[in-house]
Amino acid sequence: MKTTTQNITIDGIDKKILRALMKDARTPVLEIARQVGISGAAIHQRLRKLERSKLITGSKFILNTKILGYSTIAFVGIFLDKAMSNNDAVKQLKKIPEVLECHYTTGNWSILIKVLAQNNEHLMQLLNTDIQTINGVSRTETFISLDQQIDRQIKI
């Protein structure tokens, strides 16, 4: 079955390739080719097409941050005093390495960030000295993640 989205059409073979790489981006092309039943060169051509269309934007290794000593994940809602402060606040948040994600949101907060800290004390230090001191931040609301239950990408 073919699926067309924006400027690219992906067929069943493309989906099989994508599923294999989403499961493990280090899967050798020849192994995928054997599973799908086409040549390795055909897999390469299809991957280049998917990259050119920007459906695939790269691959990455995922670090086990607990091994590095980071065990606290928190989501912080940031209240800004003015909407005009958004761009400046985001520029300052980008300078904090522990800020993993930053989203403009609807609702009570102007911005929602995901923060990785070594522990609760480190999180408190980040909040008090790095995040809440950003010009335009009026206050924050913090939620600590006890355990991540789902971590996945969209199904293809």
Per-residue pLDDT tens listing for the chain (156 residues): 566 656 788 999 999 999 999 999 999 999 999 999 999 999 999 999 999 999 999 888 889 999 999 999 999 999 999 878 899 999 999 999 999 999 999 999 999 999 999 999 999 999 999 999 999 999 999 999 999 999 988 998
> What would you report as the CA-atom Rg of the chain, rounded to the nearest whole angstrom?
21
Show the domains of the chain with their CATH numbers.
3-52 (1.10.10.10), 72-145 (3.30.70.920)
- Helix runs in 11-152, H state only: 12-23, 29-36, 40-52, 86-94, 120-125
Cβ–Cβ under 8 Å, residues 137 and 78? yes
Phi and psi dihedrals of 60, rounded to 5? -155, 155
pTM of this prediction exceeds 0.75? yes
